[in-house]
Every structure is written in structure tokens, then in C-alpha cells.
Amino acid sequence: MDRIVLDSPVGRMALECEGEALTALYLPHRLAEPVGAETPLLARGRAELEEYFQGKRRVFDLPLAPKGTPFQQRVWQELAKVPWGTVVTYGELAVRVGSPKACRAVGQANHNNPLPIFLPCHRVVGANGSLTGYAGGLDVKQWLLQLEGVL
């Protein structure tokens, strides 16, 4: 496992990989220390995040390997399909993963998303469009959605 620390407009983050895939992005409130070296994959991840924060990148092109339960994996796969500048509700996401009554479980999967931004859980909002819950804090969620032109 290798991990680098990078600065972003929302604070310092850490990006982690194992082998040939990214496994975690630590948002500012839970910053992790660097480990190992900056691999070519981590350098690409840093570059793609910088492009995203500049509004130049709307789709990430990196191998991802988030670790989680089968249900979490289904939720995260659906998150990856939510395009830049759009939002979905927890209920809509629950329907998409085939569990229409599992809104809270979808919320928990979002909370445990190890690759926020890459798997855009910030694009999930409450049923009334409100900015509810975000592991990185509502201020970061709001900033990301403003960047994408949603707010």
C-alpha cells in the first residue's frame, strides 16, 4: 500500500493505492499520513483530482478497487454512473441497486464510501433536494456541488 498527501481547495487529502488500483481517498477531516512512495498511479490520481478541482475533468479514468460488502459495491457502482452536474436522491439510488426500501442502507454505503469524489456520493441528496449527510462534511459537499454547477 502506498499513500500520498495532496492539497485541494477543500483542504488536505490523502490518496491511497494497493497494486494497480486506487483504494481510498481520505477527505480533510480524516487525513492519513503518507506511506511508501508516490507511484505512477498515485501521480495520475493527483493529476485527475487537480483537473477536477479546476473544473476541467468531469470523468475519472483510473482503476478503482474500493473494499466493501456486496451491497456497498452495488451502491458504489451506481454512484459511478451519476454524471457530473447532476444529483440523485437516496431513494432513487436505492431503486437503482434493486432495493427500493433500503434508503438508509444506501445512506450508510455512501457514508462508508472509501473513494469519495471518484465515486461521487456528494451527488446524492435528500428526497426534497436538501444536502443531507456527507462523510466529508456538508461544507465540502456544498463546495463540490457548486463546482459542478448544481447549486
pLDDT tens by residue, 70-88: 999 999 999 999 999 999 9
Provide the domain limits for residue 89.
70-147
Q: Can you give the CATH number for the domain in which 92 is found?
A: 1.10.10.10
Indicate if 76 and 134 belong to the same structural domain.
Answer: yes
Closest CA to 21 of 114, 111, 135: 114
Q: Where is 65: in which H helix or E strand?
A: none
Q: What is the pLDDT of residue 19?
A: 92
Residue 108 has a CB neighbour count (10 Å cut-off) of: 15
Residue 148, sorted as left (phi over 0), alpha (psi -120 to 50) or beta, turns out to be: alpha
Q: Residue 135, SS3?
A: coil
Q: Where is 69: in which H helix or E strand?
A: none
**Residue 134: inside a domain, yes or no?**
yes
**Residue 61: inside a domain, yes or no?**
no
Mapped to the 3 state alphabet, what secondary structure does 53-65 carry?
HCCCCCCCCCCEC
pLDDT band at 37 (very low <50, low <70, confident <90, very high): confident
Query: What positions carry a catalytic annotation?
Result: 121
Q: Residue 147, SS3?
A: helix
Q: What is the pLDDT of residues 110-145, one digit of tens each?
A: 999 999 999 999 999 999 988 887 888 899 999 999
Residue 101 has a CB neighbour count (10 Å cut-off) of: 9
Q: Residue 96, SS3?
A: helix
Backbone CA torsion sign across 72, 96, 140, 84? positive
Q: What is the pLDDT of residue 10?
A: 93
Average pLDDT, the chain: 94
pLDDT band at 61 (very low <50, low <70, confident <90, very high): very high
The number of domains in the chain is 2
